[in-house]
Amino acid sequence: MVSNLDKVDPREIQMLQQYLNEFGQEIQTYSAQLELLEQRRIESLTAVDTINTIKENPKNTVLLQIGGGASIKVKPVEEDTILLNIGSDVVVEKTCDETASYLTDRATEMEALEKKLTESISNMQKQANEIAKKIENAYKQLQTAQQKQ
């Protein structure tokens, strides 16, 4: 029986390996972005929590960490004022509620982005798995062909 098994081109395997490497690199980049987004989203939600807590107890002393495990006792000078960085080196003064709403919106946006990224990563992973299977089959075919010789 004549089959394609004996006709595996090593260059094809090399090409598939290259594709696999590229997919691997892309998955790594996307995963790093996903991690960063997750970190920023959690940071935003933590800030919302902090704002709400300070708003509820404005007279309470807050411990401000200054690094090295050291903290200083502080009290908000203006209880309902937050300075918010809105990007492009611009900082706007907002109320606690406005800031919390802005940060919550950003967190929702980031969550949606995270979902998209996760989908993309899973699709790429599927494609990479398919390529890996193809490489494995090609290697097997190559080995069979070599054994026949």
Partner 1 sequence: MNNIPPKVQNQLAMLQQVQQQLQTILQQKASFEMAAKEARKAIEELSSAKEDAVVYTTIGSVMMQKDKASVEADLNDKVETLELRVKSLEKQEKALQTKFEQLQQQIQSAVQGTAGAGAGTPPSAN
Asked if 114 and 36 count as a contact pair (C-beta separation under 8 A), the reply is no
The residue from 102, 107, 121, 135 that contacts partner 1 (CB under 8 A) is 102
**Which residue has 């090609």 as its token pair?**
138
Closer residue to partner 1 (CB): 37 or 132: 37
Stretch that binds partner 1, among 17-25, 60-68, 90-98, 122-130 (CB under 8 A): 90-98
Q: Name residues whose C-beta falls within 8 Å of residue 115's C-beta, 6 or more positions apart in sequence.
A: none
Asked if 53 and 67 count as a contact pair (C-beta separation under 8 A), the reply is no
Asked if 55 and 80 count as a contact pair (C-beta separation under 8 A), the reply is yes
Closer residue to partner 1 (CB): 95 or 125: 95
Residues 48-87 that bind partner 1 (CB under 8 A): 83, 85-87
Residues that bind partner 1 (CB under 8 A): 10, 83, 85-94, 102
